[in-house]
Amino acid sequence: MKGRRAFLRNAGLAAGAAVVLGPVRVGRGHDVTLDEAPRAVRTPERRDRPPPADAAVRAYLGPLGVGARLVGSTVIAVHGIFHGALPLLLRDAQGRRFQLDVMRRDESRPGVARTAQVDVYVANRGTGTVRTEEAHGLAALALARYLRARERAGVRPPPGLVRLSGREAHGPHGVFLVAEEPASSA
């Protein structure tokens, strides 16, 4: 009887620690919850080179390109459709680089900001579990506000965007970050 009680007590302590400690850092700083850890360990981070922005991307974004300011952050690269998303690289006022992904609107997994046709996500490797930096979230909101105005003027999102919930077809369990140095710009 004492053995079973000790086992249950220790199991309860371990479960309590998991709840208190929250996300666990796995691999290259990828925050995951304990129940996600096995999948995250199997999932290598992807840093591929996206294609350059094509005519459809440039038409959708209009004058928004390298050097544009979004609430204190500066666009440093605009790429073509990459694994179903339109990635934009930005640098915030503190010099931190971050990525915003524009994807088709997804009712089941909404982005930080949205328009009638797209969601804007902060690509922070968090799968919804990592706190978004305020400056990065504000840039996502500003980008969505800009895109909303473009859409109201009749501009359509470029073809090839997918919903976040359907992105696995483009790379199961991937973390879709663009290469460190800007490969292309608009």
Average pLDDT, integer, range 77-98: 95
Q: Please state, for a pLDDT cut of 70, what percent of the chain lies above it.
A: 64
134 within 8 A of 120, measured Cβ to Cβ: no
Least confident of 24-33, 122-131, 147-156: 24-33
Q: What is the pLDDT of residue 104?
A: 97
Q: Which two tokens stand for residue 20?
A: 């208190």
Residue 17 has pLDDT above 90, yes or no: no
Q: What is the pLDDT of residue 44?
A: 46
Give the DSSP letter of residue 158. Answer: P
For residue 172, name the pLDDT band (cuts at 50, 70, 90): low
pLDDT (tens digit, 9 = 90+) per residue, 101-128?
999 999 988 999 999 999 999 998 766 6
Residue predicted with more confidence, 104 or 25: 104
In the chain, where does DSSP find H-type helix?
Answer: 2-21, 37-42, 55-61, 134-152
Residue 30 has pLDDT above 80, yes or no: no
What are the residue boundaries of the structural domains of the chain, listed by start? 49-178
Q: Which two tokens stand for residue 116?
A: 């009638």
The whole model's pTM is what? 0.70
pLDDT (tens digit, 9 = 90+) per residue, 1-11?
455 555 444 44
Average pLDDT, integer, range 4-28: 40
